[in-house]
Amino acid sequence: MIDKTNDERRIVYLPLAELMTRLHPQNPKSHDLGAIIESYCNHGYVASGVLDDRTGLFLAGHGRIQALSMMKKQGMTVPDGIRIDFCDWLVPVQVGYSSENDTQALAYIVADNKLTTLGGWDEPALAELLQDVAASTDIALEATGFSGDDLDLLLADLGMIEEPPEDPGAQVDRAAELQEKWQVERGDVWQVGKHRIMCGDSTCAEDVGLLMDRAKAEMLFTSPPYSDQREYSGNDLSVETLAKFIPTWKQFCNFQCVNLGLMRKENEITQYWDAYISVARESGLKLLAWNIWDKINATSVQSQMHMFALSHEFIFVFGIAPKAINRTLEKSPESKKREKNFRLDSYGRKVTTRRQKNGSVKESHIGESYDKKQLNSVLPCYAEMARNVEHPAKFPPELVVAYTEAMTDESQIVCDPFLGSGTTLVACEQTGRVGYGMEISPEYVSVSLERLQGLGLTPQRTASAEQERG
């Protein structure tokens, strides 16, 4: 055993280019260079690497040096703690330690990384600390190496985040019985927690005004009846009548997402949705997106009897102008792998090079690096099996949740002119949004009230429409 009690540990500054030649070729540790660079941008270069005097190779700090090299190549700002000498960066490293042999050196390289993870975390203390950082305006949460998603998962594991209430489901088969319980009348306005329901006509401006009560929704999400394919409370379900809801609701919402399925007459698809598009255009709204709801399976015998089994529906998005939607979908493992090969500029943006017409090469930003991706135009989502074909509201909560999270922020209002059994309001309750729903059938309002009560909410009749008008 070598006596090393008198070895002097000291810090010296060496050129970065030289240090890149001293990385140990057998180091088995991989590194998240982007996270290390994020740390340098927030904290500077704090912890020095360690060189082995015997071999001249690194024992600790490989990732730190590689991250510095990437920053320098990309022209990023020199981190605090790094000196500049002519064209190179001078990096502080610790010297004065010599390993006894190659085996001991390799063992230390592994131990230096492994020992920091063996103790784990005091998770409650970590959660409290990360929450404090997240609430601070002084520094970003990512400066800790943890993301917002990491914090959410930690809080959920600790039971510090309330899980969304479980949907008890729509008891459509008990509609008559529930109507006896709730005694809903045409014109009623109900307050259910932070949500509102009115038993009224979505094509009647006066009814819509009473429901919205001067509030404005960010998004409307609905599925109107499919014209003469269904009978619904004995009302006129012609496309010309139903489409009137679009201009009626225009002043009360910024975007309208309308779910429409396929309809056939005499074995030919009827493009009845053209009427909705025309009415929207006449109202000053543009068709911003024509999306697909992929139901994955044909959910009814009728759907399976077509030439090709029908397993999709449309979602038309109307509005005055497009908006940047929230990024809500998890990235695939493949896309995360590709991101590791992106270069970053001094602002952390991904950069690629493009060949110009004159032969020169120009760097181009291809966008910021995000933890999640945005909703696609095609959304796979299992449909609820139809229990009652007489009512149009048949989409699953997951479909509404996907669009609600993408198109709105928490506490914003989402409205549904054809509420049906209350699916849209369930999605609002589960995602922290406020739901306003109109439903012309008293029985279906009763079904919605019972469903929302099952979520722990208390329905209260505020007034009848006659009282509010009076």
Q: What is the tens place of the pLDDT at every residue in 80-130?
A: 999 998 889 999 999 999 999 999 999 999 999 898 888 888 999 999 999
pLDDT of 331 higher than 80: no
Length of the chain: 470
pLDDT in tens, 402-425: 999 999 999 999 999 999 999 999
Q: How far apart are the first and last CA of the chain?
A: 98
Q: Note the pLDDT of residue 238.
A: 84
Q: Note the pLDDT of residue 300.
A: 57
Sequence letter at residue 13: Y
Name the DSSP letter for residue 382. Answer: P
- Separation between Cα atoms, residue 338 and residue 362, nearest integer Å: 21
Which of the given ranges, 58-67, 234-243, 261-270, has the highest pLDDT on average?
58-67
Query: In terms of pLDDT, which residue wins out, 365 or 405?
Result: 405
Q: Cβ distance 429 to 452 under 8 Å?
A: yes
Q: Note the pLDDT of residue 234.
A: 55
Query: How do the domains of the chain map onto residue ranges?
Result: 10-118, 123-157, 172-328+378-469, 332-370
Q: Could you identify the residue written with the tokens 């911003």?
A: 288
Q: Torsions phi, psi of 355, nearest 5? A: -80, 125
Looking at residues 236-265, what average pLDDT do you find? Answer: 91
At residue 218's C-alpha, the angle toward residues 444 and 408, to 5°, is 95
H or E element, residue 361:
strand 361-365
Q: Note the pLDDT of residue 394.
A: 65
The per-residue DSSP string of 21-60 comes to GGS-TT------HHHHHHHHHHH-S-SPEEEETTTSSEEE
Looking at residues 331-351, what average pLDDT do you find? Answer: 51
66: three-class secondary structure by DSSP = helix
Q: Note the pLDDT of residue 236.
A: 65
Tell me, rounded to whole angstroms, the distance of Cα 427 from its chain centroid.
14
- Separation between Cα atoms, residue 44 and residue 55, nearest integer Å: 28
* Closest alpha carbon to 72 in 83, 61, 62: 83
Is 423 exposed, middle or buried (CB count within 10 Å of its CB: 0-12, 13-18, 19+)? Answer: buried
pLDDT in tens, 32-82: 898 899 899 999 999 999 999 999 999 999 999 999 999 999 889 999 999
pLDDT in tens, 274-297: 999 999 999 999 999 999 999 887
Q: Torsions phi, psi of 334, nearest 5? A: -65, -40
252: three-class secondary structure by DSSP = helix
95: three-class secondary structure by DSSP = strand
Looking at residues 126-146, what average pLDDT do you find? Answer: 86
At residue 298's C-alpha, the angle toward residues 293 and 166, to 5°, is 65
pLDDT of 465 higher than 80: no
CA distances from 116 to 42, 112, 320, 351 (A): 21, 7, 54, 33
Q: Cβ distance 379 to 400 under 8 Å?
A: no
Q: Cβ distance 95 to 68 under 8 Å?
A: no
Please report how many Cα atoms fall inside a 13 Å half-sphere around the Cα of residue 469, on the Cβ side: 10
Kindly report which listed range (196-200, 214-218, 348-352, 450-454) carries the lowest average pLDDT score: 348-352
Q: Note the pLDDT of residue 445.
A: 97
Looking at residues 182-190, what average pLDDT do you find? Answer: 96
- Residues 6 or more apart whose CB falls under 8 angstroms from that of 364 comprise 351, 352, 353, 354
pLDDT band at 299 (very low <50, low <70, confident <90, very high): low
Contacts made by residues 27-31, CB under 8 angstroms, sequence distance 24+: 27/58, 27/62, 27/109, 28/109, 28/110, 29/62, 29/63, 29/109, 29/110, 29/113, 31/62, 31/63, 31/66, 31/67
Q: Note the pLDDT of residue 150.
A: 85
Paired tokens of 447:
């079904």
Strands 312-319 and 286-294 come out as antiparallel
Dihedral (Cα; 121, 127, 129, 132), 10-degree rounding: 170
Q: Cβ distance 396 to 423 under 8 Å?
A: yes
Looking at residues 151-164, what average pLDDT do you find? Answer: 80
- Separation between Cα atoms, residue 126 and residue 130, nearest integer Å: 6
Q: Cβ distance 170 to 385 under 8 Å?
A: no
pLDDT band at 158 (very low <50, low <70, confident <90, very high): confident
- Residues 6 or more apart whose CB falls under 8 angstroms from that of 333 comprise none
Paired tokens of 159:
């039971």
pLDDT of 229 higher than 50: no
323: three-class secondary structure by DSSP = coil
Domain 172-328+378-469: CATH superfamily is: Vaccinia Virus protein VP39 (3.40.50.150)
Mean pLDDT over each residue of the chain, to the nearest integer: 85
Percent of the chain with pLDDT over 90: 59
